[in-house]
Amino acid sequence: MNYSRVIIGLLIIIWLGTPAAASDIQQGIHGMKWGSSISEHHELTKVHEIGPVAYYANSNMVYQSANQPIPGVFYGFYRDQLFAVFIKLRSPDQFSQLERQFTIKHGKPETTYYPESSQTVHRWKDADVKIKLKMKDPTREFKLAIYYAPLAASLNQEQLENIPSDAYDKAPPKKDTPVKSAPLLDE
């Protein structure tokens, strides 16, 4: 009788814990909820704007992956709502680590190779979140884009991923605010 209570208790704990672990990227990224307003994120500075879409960076935060800093993390807001994060990666090591991490969490990706641009794109989907990990062979460019589909669906994603190169020159850090460091994604 006591064993059955313990087993039932463990099953309830596992059942309640699984949705929380599986939904981390479904809720948002870097402590920001999908669909949240830019007014909720005082740490962000606008770096570029195209019509109803604005891109922001947090120059007081340095993210890292594969023990290397990430050169650019940009948050896309469509009509004042967080719909995506665009990440420029530094190295093949970061690309490989993220590919492994997403495969473990979200399964085998749908992979497409585009010979005209020598680009490989891995895609995963987790409920309302789409993940694209890109590698361009000749230029050794590596990028990651994570979209919240309910907001991103009305936008041309390919056009929005082309953040101008001058936007990668991050906005200056906000005065009197220390620069922090954190992993790019929870592992």
- The predicted structure's pLDDT at residue 173: 61
Q: Which domain holds residue 124?
A: 25-170+179-183
Do residues 75 and 57 touch, judged by C-beta distance below 8 A?
Answer: yes
- Tally DSSP H helices, then E strands, for the chain: 5, 13
Q: If you ran DSSP here, which 8-state letter would residue 185 be given?
A: S
Assess if residue 157 is contained within a domain.
yes
Assess if residue 14 is contained within a domain.
no
Assess if residue 3 is contained within a domain.
no
Assess if residue 83 is contained within a domain.
yes
Give 133's strand partners: 122, 144
> Do you know the residue count of the chain?
187
- The predicted structure's pLDDT at residue 60: 86
- The predicted structure's pLDDT at residue 186: 65
Tokens of 169: 């020159």
- The predicted structure's pLDDT at residue 146: 95
Element (H, E) at 87: strand 81-89
Tokens of 121: 């794109």
- The predicted structure's pLDDT at residue 153: 82
Number of domains in the chain: 1
Q: How many CB atoms within 10 Å of residue 2?
A: 6
pLDDT along the chain (187 residues), means of 10: 43 36 74 96 92 90 89 92 94 94 95 94 95 90 93 68 59 62 65
- The predicted structure's pLDDT at residue 170: 54
